């Protein structure tokens, strides 16, 4: 079986859904499991719904109707007959969403987030599945929450691999086209969980691992894995082949083309990963597999924006020792704050972080009891793998460099634009 993953950009409108159908016609759909994300910017739109819900905003109902209207427009462009079953199915999903928002009693933001945000993927795959059937491409729609079981760490759940393996091995039909949702799972009480933003790639890898798949293909709006994000860097080039190790390094430092968790399960079973263009599906794209690292060594540029640079120093000018660092990392773990860079001197400790869950202010209050805390908001972290002098100079040009760190293969620079 092959695993395909299509992200939100590939199904952002009716033409996108039609194009995914065309891609499958060109590359084959028998014995394939397709993982599909929410349509377009639906996840962002549902995040606004959640914010308005908790803020008790007057905009709450309007923001929810915007999501419904967006999907209804896609339906009207895909199906001529408004009596088609898909309209009933989609309306039923939105009715379920509205019922949850009316009846929910939980004040837990992360719990509510996962229950609401999941409707993006559920509705998206419902539309795609019905459209494929309408076009004569028969398929089997799967609710991924019946297959991927996790703990109850809402918004960043951990997979129960034993249970997931059993459910997928038993429940996924072979020799047919299966369609399911990315990003989602469920806990032991069958409440919806999510695997972290952009987690649909990881979903594809989970299914691939449990099914010992032939390959995984991530379909993107770029030709493959580039050495830099074309939105921020001119003259980005395609990397034809990279090793699992190099791909893991790039993902760890923030390359968004592959989700960081995706590669480990694939590497364990040596399942090749392809990153291809859904615009030109017959082009070879990038292959990620067992083998040598980049050769020749190509400089790869990664940028993470909206980061926080924090510097801690002891109030009494004493050394920052192991026990201090251990305490700091304990707090970072407690508040679910991702660290992208670390640098320390005798009396100071600096970290560049990503505050995904909005916990920094609470953490800062705790840290301020023991340390002098200074920080810069909205900084950018540039990482250059296989850096050269020319690459470094290009990144630093016309920027204020707040911190710079060099290792054997990697250069990291924190800048204020």
Name the residue among 184, 191, 181 with its Cα closest to residue 159.
184
Is 256 labelled as part of a ligand binding site? no
Tell me how many degrees the CA angle 180-183-188 measures, rounded to the nearest 5: 90
Tokens representing 202 are 């990881």
Is 105 part of any known ligand binding site? Answer: no
Angle among Cα 285, 289, 295 to the nearest 5 degrees reads: 75
Number of residues in the chain: 417
**Which residues make Cβ contacts (< 8 Å) with residue 84, sequence separation at least 6?**
130, 134
- Does 254 belong to an annotated binding site? no
> Is 245 annotated for ligand binding?
no
CA 32 to each of CA 75, 178, 198, 301: distance values in angstroms, whole numbers, following the listed order: 25, 6, 21, 33
The answer to whether 126 is a known ligand-binding residue is no
Query: In 3D, which of 237, 18, 242, 267 has the Cα closest to residue 127?
Result: 18
Name the phi and psi angles at 352, rounded to 5. Answer: -105, 125
Rounded CA gap, 407 and 209, in Å?
33
Residue 291 marked as a ligand binder: no
43 is in an annotated binding site: yes
Q: Please state, in angstroms and rounded to a whole number, the distance separating the CA atoms of residues 3 and 211.
A: 10
216: tokens are 């995984």
CA-based nearest residue to 164, from 208, 196, 121, 120: 208
Q: What angle do CA 160, 161, 167 make, to 5 degrees?
A: 95
Residue 295: CB atoms within 10 Å: 10
Q: Mark the binding-site residues for substrate, compressed into ranges.
A: 43, 121
Q: Mark the binding-site residues for ATP, compressed into ranges.
A: 5-8, 231
Q: Mark the binding-site residues, compressed into ranges.
A: 5-8, 43, 121, 231
């Amino acid at each position: 079986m092959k695993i395909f993953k299509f992200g939100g950009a590939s199904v952002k409108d009716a033409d996108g859904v039609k194009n995914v159908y065309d891609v499958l016609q060109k590359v084959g759909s028998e014995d394939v499991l397709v993982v599909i994300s929410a349509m377009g910017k639906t996840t962002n739109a549902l995040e606004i719904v959640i914010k308005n819900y908790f803020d008790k905003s007057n905009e709450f109902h309007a923001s929810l109707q915007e999501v419904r209207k967006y999907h209804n427009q896609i339906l009207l462009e895909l199906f001529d007959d408004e009596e088609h079953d898909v309209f009933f199915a989609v309306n039923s999903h939105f009715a379920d969403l509205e019922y949850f928002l009316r009846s929910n009693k939980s004040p837990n933001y992360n719990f509510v987030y996962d229950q609401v945000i999941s409707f993006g993927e559920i509705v998206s795959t419902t539309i795609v599945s019905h459209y494929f059937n309408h076009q004569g491409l028969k398929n089997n729609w799967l609710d991924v929450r019946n297959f991927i079981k996790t703990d109850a760490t809402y918004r960043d759940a951990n997979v129960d691999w034993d249970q997931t393996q059993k459910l997928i091995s038993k429940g996924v039909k072979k020799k047919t086209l299966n369609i399911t949702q990315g990003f989602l799972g469920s806990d032991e009480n069958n409440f919806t969980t999510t695997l972290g933003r952009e987690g649909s790639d990881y979903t594809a890898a989970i299914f691939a691992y449990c099914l010992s798949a032939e390959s995984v293909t991530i379909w993107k709006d770029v030709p493959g894995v580039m050495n830099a994000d074309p939105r921020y860097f001119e003259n980005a080039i395609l990397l034809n082949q990279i090793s699992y190790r190099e791909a893991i390094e790039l993902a760890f430092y923030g390359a968004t083309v592959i989700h960081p968790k995706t590669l480990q399960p694939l590497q364990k079973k040596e399942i090749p990963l392809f990153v291809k263009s859904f615009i030109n599906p017959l082009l070879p794209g990038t292959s990620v597999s067992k083998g040598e690292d980049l050769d020749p060594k190509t400089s790869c540029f990664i940028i993470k924006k909206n980061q926080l640079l924090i510097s801690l120093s002891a109030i009494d000018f004493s050394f920052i020792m192991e026990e201090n660092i251990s305490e700091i990392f304990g707090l970072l773990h407690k508040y679910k704050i991702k660290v992208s860079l670390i640098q320390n001197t005798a009396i100071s400790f600096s970290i560049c972080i990503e505050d995904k869950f909005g916990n920094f202010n609470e953490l800062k209050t705790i840290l301020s009891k023991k340390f002098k805390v200074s920080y810069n908001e909205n900084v950018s972290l540039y990482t250059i793998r296989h850096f050269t002098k020319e690459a470094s100079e290009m990144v630093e040009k016309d920027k204020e460099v707040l911190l710079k760190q060099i290792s054997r293969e990697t250069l990291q620079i924190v800048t204020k634009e």
